[in-house]
Amino acid sequence: MLLVVDVGNTNITFGVYKKEELVTTFRLMTKTPRTSDEFGVLITEILRNDGITKEDLRGAIIASVVPNVMHSLIGSIQRYLHTKPLIVGPGVKTGIRIVTENPREIGADRIVDAVAAFEIYGGPVLVMDFGTATTYDLVTEDGCFTAGITAPGIRISAKALWEDTAKLPEIEIKKPASILAQETISSMQAGLVYGQIGQTEYIVKQVIKETGYENLIVVATGGLGRIISDETDIIQHYDSKLTLKGLRIIFEKNAK
């Protein structure tokens, strides 16, 4: 079995693969400070509840955009699971070439998503991740990561509304029945969700216009990606496990 770990700004997502089957997933909050022992106990206990022991694991791989978590997390996996994790970064085989001006600026999570989308769906492909930030990354038909677009995520926008505006409340992010809202909560929901749909459609159309890729494949992932992908035909595939799939693919490329 293989342990895959995606360290995001909000959550650390863990998954365990048995060959190509994802047998379990779980999450821990990223911003909660933990020692390597605390990480180790939590991870091993959760895995044990799913019937998985350290002897079942043949390796681990981590992609992280939060550097200050890594020392404790890596130490916990080495000490408690007895395996040295592969860290996605420079020198790791991915199967795509990054041809942006500064490849080292590209976050590991974006690389992993790009790898998964290209390997699974082909290219040219535009990969959207509706996470803490909303990102759009372009991979050409020959596997070159050529461009990336970054926008505030839906939750960041929502948080700005209720934290920086005295009379606006904290709300659930969901699509209201109509864009023609008649009270505060649904008016905020309409602005957030329909605004994100509009942004998504415009950015995809602009990418197609500037690249000439009329055959562009559009893939979405991320926690709120389902809400947006259900409301627009411009997104062809929604894959909630895209990052975990990409981690497994990259591990296999390097294991060979």
- CATH number, position 19: 3.30.420.40
Token pair recorded at residue 120? 């699974």
Q: How far apart are CA 130 and CA 47, in angstroms?
A: 27
Residues 82 and 104 in one domain: no
Q: How far apart are CA 47 and CA 152, in angstroms?
A: 34
Tokens 């009379």 locate to 167
* Kind and range of the H or E run holding 23: strand 21-29
Residues in the chain: 256
Name the residue among 123, 118, 109 with its Cα closest to residue 153. 109
How many domains would you assign to the chain?
A: 2
Residues whose CB falls within 8 Å of the CB of residue 253, separated by 6 or more in sequence, listed in order: 93, 94, 95
User: Tens digit of pLDDT per residue, the chain (256 long)?
Assistant: 999 999 998 899 999 999 999 999 999 999 999 999 999 999 999 999 999 999 999 999 999 999 999 999 999 999 999 999 999 998 899 999 999 888 888 999 999 999 999 999 999 999 999 988 999 999 999 999 999 999 999 999 999 999 888 889 999 999 999 999 999 999 999 999 999 999 999 999 999 999 999 999 999 999 889 999 999 999 999 999 999 999 999 999 999 6
Range of the domain at 59: 2-87
Q: Which of 109, 113, 129, 239 is catalytic?
A: 109
Residues 225 and 144 in one domain: yes
Tokens 């091993």 locate to 44
Name the residue among 55, 58, 60, 89 with its Cα closest to residue 73. 60
Residue 109 appears among annotated catalytic residues: yes
170 domain residue, yes or no:
yes
Q: What confidence score (pLDDT) does residue 197 get?
A: 96
Contact 118, 212 (CB under 8 A): no
Helix count and strand count (H, E) for the chain: 7, 11
Residues 217 and 101 in one domain: yes
Tokens 């959550």 locate to 11
Residues 136 and 69 in one domain: no
